[in-house]
């Protein structure tokens, strides 16, 4: 998170990231063991993250945030990552970057998080794909990367306009005269001829023509 675009965004104070461990907000036993999970009611395999440690962590963080901003309210989004959540996409990333000043990601492990966390915090369940991960940390990184780069000032608008999904994001596909899919066209750079295992891979001639209209048409045809 401290590298490249996100790292610069943090350094330039466009965004800030904070990490919290629910174990830090509960009391341990004599051996200083701090359990945050338990067996699921009704039986079943695996363990479930308990609601209490997560809610205590959230309340503690919430107090710190309010003190830092002297009681003022900001538009906040609370997200829980779950395999049964709403599929995440570019439109969601754009909306969140535009609408919310604070986004709280609650990530789980094992069999998931006690459902009462979602209800108590009125959180939205989000999935990054139809598969199961060992933990929600990776999902949080994926969504953070997608949202942060859309925060105003993090990336130039001109760069975003050339990306995949941009036309779809702004709902321009219906009026798209060239009928492209909204996905990004293929990219090439030097050398002009790439030699690999006895074969030559050339840059398409149209990209070397200097004819911007032909290049534009070719790029749209490849979307």
Instruction: Assess whether pLDDT exceeds 80 at residue 67.
Output: no
Q: Where are the alpha helices (DSSP H) in the chain?
A: 4-11, 51-68, 90-99, 115-121, 137-148, 157-161, 166-169, 212-221
Q: Where are the alpha helices (DSSP H) in 43-173?
A: 51-68, 90-99, 115-121, 137-148, 157-161, 166-169
What is the DSSP code (8-state) at residue 155? Answer: S
Give the model confidence (pLDDT) of 151-207 as tens digits. Answer: 989 987 666 666 656 665 655 444 544 445 567 788 899 999 999 999 999 999 999
Burial 72-99 (b: 16+ CB within 10 A, else e): eeeeebbbbbbeebeebebebbbebbee
Q: Which residue has the higher pLDDT, 193 or 69?
A: 193
Cis before 101? omega within 30 = no
Give the model confidence (pLDDT) of 127-143 as tens digits. Answer: 999 998 888 999 999 99
Instruction: Assess whether pLDDT exceeds 70 at residue 50.
Output: yes
Query: How would DSSP label each residue in 49-73?
Result: E-HHHHHHHHHHHHHHHHHHTTT--
**pTM for the full predicted model:** 0.80
Among the ranges given (25-34, 64-73, 149-158, 184-193), the one the predictor scored with the smallest mean pLDDT: 64-73
Q: Which residue has the higher pLDDT, 111 or 31?
A: 111
Q: Which domains does the chain have, with CATH numbers?
A: 4-148 (3.40.1280.10), 157-221 (1.10.1270)
């Amino acid at each position: 998170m401290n590298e490249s675009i996100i790292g610069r965004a943090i350094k330039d104070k466009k965004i800030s990231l904070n990490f919290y461990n629910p174990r830090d907000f509960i009391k341990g036993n004599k051996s200083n063991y701090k359990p945050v999970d338990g067996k699921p009611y009704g039986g079943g395999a695996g363990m479930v993250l308990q609601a209490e440690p997560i809610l205590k962590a959230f309340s503690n963080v919430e107090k710190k945030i309010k003190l830092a901003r002297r009681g003022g309210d900001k538009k906040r989004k609370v997200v829980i990552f779950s395999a049964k959540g709403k599929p995440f996409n570019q439109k969601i990333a754009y909306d969140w970057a535009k609408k919310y000043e604070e986004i709280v990601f609650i990530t789980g492990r094992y069999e998931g998080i006690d459902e009462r966390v979602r209800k108590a915090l009125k959180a939205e369940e989000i999935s990054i794909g139809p598969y199961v991960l060992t933990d929600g940390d990776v999902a949080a990184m994926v969504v953070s990367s997608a949202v942060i780069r859309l925060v105003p000032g993090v990336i130039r608008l001109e760069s975003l306009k050339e990306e995949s999904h941009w036309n779809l994001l702004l709902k321009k596909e219906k009026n798209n005269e060239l009928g492209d899919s909204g996905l990004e066209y293929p990219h090439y750079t030097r050398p002009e001829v790439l030699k690999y295992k006895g074969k030559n891979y050339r840059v398409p001639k149209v990209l070397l023509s200097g004819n911007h209209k032909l290049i534009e048409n070719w790029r749209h045809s490849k979307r």
